[in-house]
Amino acid sequence: MDLKIKDVAELLNVSETTIRRWLAEGKIPAYRIHHQYRFSRMEIEDWVMSCRLNKDNQGQFLPVEEQIYPQKEQEELPQEVVGQQQFSLFRAIHRGDVFTSSKLESKSSLISETVSRIAPNLGLDQSVLTELLLDRESLMSTALNNGIAVPHTREFLIKRPFDVVVLVYPETPVDWGALDEQKVHSLFFLFACNDKRHLHLLAKIAHFSSDRANLEFLQTKPGKEELLSYIKEWEASFKKGS
């Protein structure tokens, strides 16, 4: 699916001015057709996944730092989009689950165990889902650094108009191939129903996991109710420009 500047701005929760600035600075992958910029969903997904820690920015996720743009740019974001997306992560986790896995030491075994628990609730075939998740990992690790990973598939398997996020805490941290070489302590299994919602949630999880306070909270392994309360407050803070 080809995306326009407006689409990418809405998905990443930044202004179109910010996207154009990133384009001018060569920070975001794009191509031009008839003098107009277009973006590939796959390339933007890989770009979000590959925006790792930047030591010059005090450990912040690089695109998130760019989200602190001038107030005049904040005002460019359509309010109806802000309203629709504001509690998207809260809703996705509410439809999903939160649990601690068994003491497993490999990526493949943890994915297999997780799928065995969630596939029936999603109405998906366990073996197919496991294979798709492992195939995605073989292309590029879904680790975001800071002990966070976002396992997902290239295909959109949810056939209903909602998204699902399942948060899994490994009993002991697992090597997920992160560039910062930290083992993963929290995995956000992401299942979206379309391109746009997938990219939006991926960027939002990356944003969430770039904040030290959020990371410290995740390390306490909060249960579903406690996590939902925390996520709801965090997403509500966007109204205040924070």
**Matching fold, domains 2-76 and 84-240:** no
- Residue 98 CA to residue 60 CA, distance in Å, equals 26
Domain spans of the chain, in order of start: 2-76, 84-240
Query: Coil, strand, or helix at residue 68?
Result: coil
How are strands ordered across the β-sheet holding 164-169? 97-100, 164-169, 186-191, 148-149, 143-145
What percentage of the chain carries pLDDT values higher than 90? Answer: 41
Q: Which tens digit of pLDDT belongs to each residue from 184-232?
A: 999 999 998 887 888 889 888 988 988 999 999 999 999 999 999 999 9
pLDDT at residue 143 is higher than 80: yes
Q: What is the CATH number of domain 2-76?
A: 1.10.10
> Is the model's pTM score more than 0.85?
no
- CATH superfamily ID and name for 84-240: Mannitol-specific EII; Chain A (3.40.930.10)
User: Quick one: pLDDT at residue 239?
Assistant: 53
The beta-strand segments (E) located in 20-163 are: 31-33, 36-40, 97-100, 143-145, 148-149
Residues 163/201, Cβ–Cβ less than 8 Å: yes
Q: Which tens digit of pLDDT belongs to each residue from 75-128?
A: 444 544 444 567 899 999 999 999 999 888 899 999 999 999 999 988 889 999
Q: What is the 3-state secondary structure (H, E, C) of 115-135?
A: HHHHHHHHCCCHHHHHHHHHH
